[in-house]
């Protein structure tokens, strides 16, 4: 069963994963009990590069946020500024708000469903619409003062559905390009 890793607590020996219940094997995970042995294999792929002293834009769609809040926290510990676009299809889909807030200097809470989210922190913003529209609105100053200027972005890391990541990648070279510098 392919799982998404969310976080690790090395001191306590804990690993957190995300299981999408989409069939027989994944539904068995809901029946696991505390102390029951589990075997994990991996990870596969390459670790995320954590630079120092940069401005990083994180773009998370749905479950992608479970991976990004760990990355965001590591980015901040390394001295980076983090602008985080956390997107969800429905308002009831939002989770781990405190962890996402700990992972970002500024969050743009994005939801496809009106009325959208109400940010708890003064520097955070909210947007109703899709992720690319939210990024463009922030970059244009339509969401108010930018505590982190979109134009200061050194890198963008997007994790979510294939469709969302493709849209962000395409927008990077089209509608978002005027707001990004080549530094």
In this prediction, residue 183 carries a pLDDT of 55
Walk across the sheet containing 81-88 and list its strands.
Answer: 125-128, 106-111, 81-88, 55-61, 155-159
Q: Show the tokens assigned to 181.
A: 């510098």
- Tokens 């970059």 identify what position? 139
pTM of the predicted model, to two decimals? 0.86
Averaged over successive runs of 10 residues, the pLDDT of the chain (183 residues) comes to 81 85 83 89 83 97 88 96 97 93 97 96 97 97 95 95 95 94 67
């Amino acid at each position: 069963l392919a799982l998404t890793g969310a976080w690790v607590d090395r001191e306590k020996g804990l690993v957190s994963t995300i299981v999408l219940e989409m069939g027989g094997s994944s539904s068995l995970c809901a029946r696991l009990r505390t102390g029951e042995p589990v075997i994990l294999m991996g990870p596969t792929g390459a670790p995320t590069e954590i630079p120092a002293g940069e401005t990083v834009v994180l773009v998370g769609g749905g479950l992608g946020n479970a991976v990004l809040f760990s990355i965001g926290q590591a980015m901040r510990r390394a001295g980076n500024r983090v602008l985080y676009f956390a997107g969800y299809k429905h308002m009831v889909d939002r989770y781990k708000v405190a962890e996402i807030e700990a992972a970002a200097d500024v969050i743009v809470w994005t939801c496809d469903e009106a009325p959208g989210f109400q940010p708890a922190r003064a520097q955070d913003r909210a947007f109703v619409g899709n992720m690319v529209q939210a990024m463009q609105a922030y970059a244009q100053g339509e969401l108010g003062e930018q505590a982190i200027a979109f134009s200061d972005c050194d890198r963008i890391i997007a994790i979510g559905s294939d469709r969302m990541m493709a849209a962000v990648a395409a927008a990077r070279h089209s509608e978002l390009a005027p707001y990004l510098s080549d530094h």
